[in-house]
Amino acid sequence: MARNFWKVVNDMIKEADVILEVLDSRLIEQTRNTEVEKKIEDAGKPIIYVFNKCDLVDKKFLEKKKKRVKHSVFVSSTGMLGTTMLREKILAVAKKDKVKVGVVGYPNTGKSSLINALAGKAKAKASSESGYTKGLQYVKADNRIMLLDTPGVVPFKESDEVKHALIGTLSHHKLKDPDLSAMALIEELDGLVEQHYGIPFTDDPESVIEEVAKKTGKLKSGGVPDVDQASRIIIKDWQTGKIKVL
């Protein structure tokens, strides 16, 4: 991630009254950016954790997570769920009539979609491709809230392809070893991948990928399962929200 992205984020932290960290409800801890959180803490700014894509996760699971995280709100930016509660939370935490709200998070957690949901219009450019937002954008949500959208940022020292595949910071078609990411996801979800594709449950993630290949018609000559293509399909379906944690 380019260093100028961090300059934009640092400038936003200085300017904002409250900061939202947008998290993927399916992988809350994995999408928390501790480097950014430390910068916010050092600046003495309040932070609200937005559990986005909450419609893709079991509610009981989220309730347990919420108890451990102060100032958190469930939201589905695409389903327009929780946005009113989030507005109320922002104003309550800021304790001001007019509030500048910074928005940060990993690429593909739904930052721009959340901003559009709060603003009521497609004002912030959104894309399923990670890193789409390139600079600081100001978006007026209403007469009291101004939103500051930042590029999706990744800690400098993070280079784990599997993690980036699971949290969506690295698109499925850019993976060097998609099978490793697919196997990690299969193990993480413990049967949900098999359930999604309607294939037999097994403790062998490699077999799951092969069955997905057969199910989706991704076969090489001689009917051999194309593990690479099947793995990319699994990761793509996860990144686009087709595979749910319900």
- Longest Cα–Cα distance of the chain, Å, equals 68
At 159 the pLDDT is: 63
At 237 the pLDDT is: 96
At 215 the pLDDT is: 96
Q: Where are the alpha helices (DSSP H) in the chain?
A: 3-15, 34-42, 59-68, 83-94, 111-119, 161-167, 178-189, 192-197, 205-216, 227-239
At 154 the pLDDT is: 62
Burial class (CB in 10 A: 0-12, 13-18, 19+), 239: buried
At 127 the pLDDT is: 43
At 132 the pLDDT is: 44
At 107 the pLDDT is: 79
- Separation between Cα atoms, residue 73 and residue 52, nearest integer Å: 8
At 184 the pLDDT is: 94
- Hey, what are 213's tokens? 């290949």
The answer to whether 194 and 202 have CB atoms below 8 angstroms apart is yes
How far are the Cα atoms of 28, 32, 186, 238 from residue 195, in angstroms, in the given order?
Answer: 22, 28, 11, 13
pTM of the prediction? 0.79
To the nearest 10 degrees (0 to 180), the angle between helices 3-15 and 34-42 is 40
- Separation between Cα atoms, residue 236 and residue 190, nearest integer Å: 18
Segment (H or E) for 104 = strand 99-104
- Of 188, 184, 182, give the one whose Cα is nearest residue 237: 182
- Separation between Cα atoms, residue 53 and residue 14, nearest integer Å: 28
- Hey, what are 182's tokens? 């697919």
- Hey, what are 189's tokens? 């979800």
| Regions in the chain scoring below 50 on pLDDT | 1-2, 126-133, 156
At 77 the pLDDT is: 78
Question: Which domains occur in the chain, in start order?
Answer: 3-149 (3.40.50.300), 161-239 (1.10.1580.10)
